[in-house]
Amino acid sequence: MRDWIEAKKAGKALSDADIRAFVAGVTDGSIEDAQIAAWLMAVCWRGMTTEETTALTQAMIASGRTLAWAGVPGLRVDKHSTGGVGDKISLPLLPAVAACGGQVPMISGRALGHTGGTLDKLEAIPGFRTDLALDALIEQTKRLGGAFGAATDDLAPADRRLYRLRDATATVASIPLITASILSKKAAEGVDGLVLDVKCGGGAFLAGRDDARNLALSLINTAERLGLKSVALLTDMSQPLGRTIGNALEIAETIDVLKG
């Protein structure tokens, strides 16, 4: 692990095998927090090549389970938004896509910084369960055309540990680390296509257009190498989206939209 930290500190690229071994150690707990944190900080400063980002994403996918859809007819799709104030598009989009015959096994996230989380919004509905086991998520997607679930312990578990340490060490804002984190969970859903809504503007996580564009390019280039069809849109997040802000209000707005 010391050699891998040294290599990243010096701006060198790691091999696929090194990255796989690193992620294995993150997942099985054999690498300690301090060393992972140092590695994350080195990556945050020095970056990663597209090959390294792809290897990191693949290893993170392989750290857990991948949803299997063999023999299930239909096309599975999903979207990811980098988020912003009032961004609630997933809520009306999933049922709309399901109504058009698509299937959306959506693993959603929680609030991050000032940006809201789809799971937190859904929990404004009394009794709504977001803790579906992966098999229940698959069953519901087959039956209804979609489901909102959370990343469980068996889906990209390496991301869970890395994300916690990124949060604790101020290394969240790294394009390769964001890319691997987002794509590992989306690719593990086993979807055929992915739409990436990359926000830019004062209310976005990455405010600058150049940063947002670089993230969008990193996401689609890495997705392509994973064999996952994707398209990215840079969309404006310089003002709140829609008419409401706040978990329960955004659910009410979604229901109004779905009722036409």
Q: Among residues 174, 181, 184, 230, which one is catalytic?
A: 181
What does the alpha-carbon distance between residue 199 and residue 153 come to, in Å, rounded to a whole number? 28
- Told to check if 194 binds ligand IUR by CB under 6 A, we report no
Binding mask 203-222 for ligand IUR (x = CB under 6 A): --x-----------------
Per-residue CA distances from 176 to 203, 217, 219 (Å): 22, 11, 9
The residue from 61, 182, 219, 241 that contacts ligand IUR (CB under 6 A) is: 182
What does the alpha-carbon distance between residue 172 and residue 192 come to, in Å, rounded to a whole number? 27
Does 166 participate in catalysis according to the annotation? Answer: yes
Does 80 participate in catalysis according to the annotation? Answer: yes
Which spans in 130-208 are helix H? 134-144, 157-168, 175-188
The residue from 36, 104, 178, 251 that contacts ligand IUR (CB under 6 A) is: 178
The residue from 57, 181, 235, 254 that contacts ligand IUR (CB under 6 A) is: 181
The residue from 64, 84, 86, 109 that contacts ligand IUR (CB under 6 A) is: 109
- Told to check if 190 binds ligand IUR by CB under 6 A, we report no
Q: Among residues 8, 79, 121, 159, which one is catalytic?
A: 159
What does the alpha-carbon distance between residue 185 and residue 166 come to, in Å, rounded to a whole number? 16
Q: Which is nearer to ligand IUR, 59 or 145 (CB)?
A: 59
As beta bridge partners, residue 78 has 194
Does 12 participate in catalysis according to the annotation? Answer: no
- Kindly compute the dihedral angle of the four CA atoms of residues 40, 221, 50, 168, in this order, to the nearest 10 degrees: 0
Which DSSP symbol is given to 112?
A: B
Q: Among residues 79, 88, 160, 185, which one is catalytic?
A: 185
Q: Which of 18, 6, 83 is nearest to 250 (CA)?
A: 83
Q: Which is nearer to ligand IUR, 89 or 182 (CB)?
A: 182
79-108 binders of ligand IUR (CB under 6 A): none
- Kindly compute the dihedral angle of the four CA atoms of residues 227, 228, 234, 236, in this order, to the nearest 10 degrees: -160
Instruction: With H, G, I as helix, E, B as strand and everything else as coil, classify residue 175.
Output: helix
Q: Which residues are catalytic?
A: 80, 159, 166, 181, 185
Instruction: List residues binding ligand IUR (CB under 6 A).
Output: 109, 112, 172, 178, 181-182, 185, 205
